[in-house]
Amino acid sequence: MKFRVLTLFPEMFDSFLNTSIIGRAISGGQVEVTLDNIRDYTENKHGRVDDTPFGGGAGMVMCVQPLKDALMAKTVAPGGRVIYLSPKGETLTHAKVVELAKLPEIVLVCGHYEGIDQRFIDRYVDEELSIGDYVLTGGETAAMVVIDSVSRMVADVLSNEASAHEDSFSNDLLEYPHYTRPAVYDGDAVPDVLLSGNHAEIDRWRLIESLKITKARRPELFAAYMKKVNDLVKDKKTLQRIKKDL
């Protein structure tokens, strides 16, 4: 999986790309990240990459020329995608991460100031992506969120591959709680079932806990899940029993 990031602040990515799972994925060759500084491509003799907005108003707008030349400096792999990080984009979800993880290459364009000239977006951007309904100072932290979430989906990136399938969202539910040693800490004991060694009971407890937390925190996810289960499960008595536990 290849990522290319067009940014004015490549140094923001330094520790992110060298640490933990992402660092290992890069040194192991499963993920490749190239950082291209947009400023290196400006034709402006003072190194400027932005200008005041036509029509007036606050802030500066990033110009088309350096963005276009930075993008065109390298070819995008066939089937690859150019994504502009923007609060106006489609919100990133687990389903979107799974979709992006199948691409051979993603070019992430990071904006700054008031944004980028619309003509660059219209001509060169395949998709706009937001990481949530709030405004960041620039697209870099959003690009890191995309690289992080997509990279851990890519096979072999995970030290424990099964964890990707047990994650919150991977089965449309939030994840059950986790515990580790000691079994009792400051008077708080781990639920007995987790120490029982009975894996069928542990699975059942985890499913119930997932359902409970999803129902409490994300009622819309819970309703969608229960509808799917209702359609699938023929044994309505088991279903009634599970619902009573919630």
Chain-centre distance for alpha carbon 148: 6
What minimum distance in Å lies between the beta carbon of 60 and ligand ADE?
Answer: 15
Choose which of 7, 130, 151, 214 interacts with ligand ADE (CB under 6 A): 130
Residue 233: which residues within 8 A CB-CB, separation 6 or more?
239
Distance CA 178, CA 201 (A): 15
**Other beta carbons within 10 Å of 143:** 27
Q: Does 173 bind ligand ADE (CB under 6 A)?
A: no
Q: Using the rule CB under 6 A, is 6 a contact of ligand ADE?
A: no
**DSSP-derived secondary structure letter, 57:** -
Count of positions on this chain that bind ligand ADE (CB under 6 A): 11
The residue among 121, 126, 134, 4 whose CA lies nearest residue 70 is 4
What backbone torsions phi and psi does residue 176 show, to the nearest 5 degrees?
-70, 160
The structure tokens listed for 11 are 């140094």
| Residue 114 a catalytic site member | yes
Query: Under rule CB under 6 A, which residues in 34-73 are in contact with ligand ADE?
Result: none
Q: Is 182 a catalytic residue?
A: no
Q: Is 24 a catalytic residue?
A: no
Report the 10 Å Cβ neighbour count for 239. Answer: 15
Q: Pattern 83-112, binding to ligand ADE, x per CB under 6 A? A: --xxx-------------------------
136 contributes a contact to ligand ADE by CB under 6 A: yes
Q: Which two tokens stand for residue 154?
A: 């890519």
Stretch that binds ligand ADE, among 59-67, 82-90, 186-194, 210-218 (CB under 6 A): 82-90
Active site residues per annotation:
87, 114, 152, 167
Q: Which residues bind ligand ADE (CB under 6 A)?
A: 85-87, 130-132, 134-136, 139, 142
